A = this chain, B = another copy of it.
Amino acid sequence: MSKKQIIIKAATRLFSEKGFKETSVAELSKVTGAAEGTIFHHFKTKEDIFLSILKNVKEGIIEEFEEYIHTRAFDNGLDMMEGVISFYLYLAGRMEEWFLLLHRHYPYELAMDNPVCREYLEGIYTCLVDIFEEAISRGQKDASIDNGVPSRKTAMIIFAMVNGLVWFKLHHLYEAGALYNELIASCHKILRESDECKK
């Protein structure tokens, strides 16, 4: 592994665990064994390190989801929604660093006056909500999901719900896993036909 990759890897861990501002270049130098001069040889500024990491996070999340969706065969749209929610929770556990980074304030503050950062963040969230919406649309075609629900807005609501649970987990308030069954049940209720009994 090249020194640049070592720096990226260590910075990913430190930025997500301690925060961007709370991590000094001196510490980064210490844990990587790279001199400060070396760090600034590979990256123009400390902010530049962060943007490299965010790029990795964006590409990593999108890649993971695309692989998951194209590998798994879903019975129908509702099944896909359940799978996608499960995978989001699973990924938030396996790649905790990525999600810790995304649940900090720094990226969103940087995004306010850095178009590259904003593009990465929007890329991540647009992709995720798109996937949730696609599951709903598929479900509406194959009749596993109520045609009455607005697909985009409902996708956002469900994403907010899942993401909110991940937030609780990352902040050590509740264990998201303990609510998994209720989460899936709630999701089913939101998406099912409201008047299916009339048939």
Using a CB–CB distance below 8 Å, which chain A residues touch chain B?
19, 21-22, 103-105, 108-109, 111-112, 121, 125, 150, 153-154, 156-157, 159-165, 167-168, 171-174, 178-179, 182-183, 186, 189-190, 192, 194-198
Contact = CB atoms under 8 A, between A and B. Distances in A.
Interface centre among A150, A171, A195, by most chain B C-beta atoms within 10 angstroms, is A171
B171 A157 contact: no
A160 B168 contact: yes
A102 to B, nearest CB: 10
B150 A160 contact: no
Q: Is the interface of A mostly helix, strand, loop or mixed?
A: helix
Nearest to A111: B172
B173 A157 contact: no
Given A153-B182, A189-B189, 12 more contacts: A19-B21, A21-B21, A112-B172, A153-B178, A153-B179, A156-B182, A157-B165, A157-B179, A159-B164, A160-B179, A167-B167, A189-B190
A110 to B, nearest CB: 12
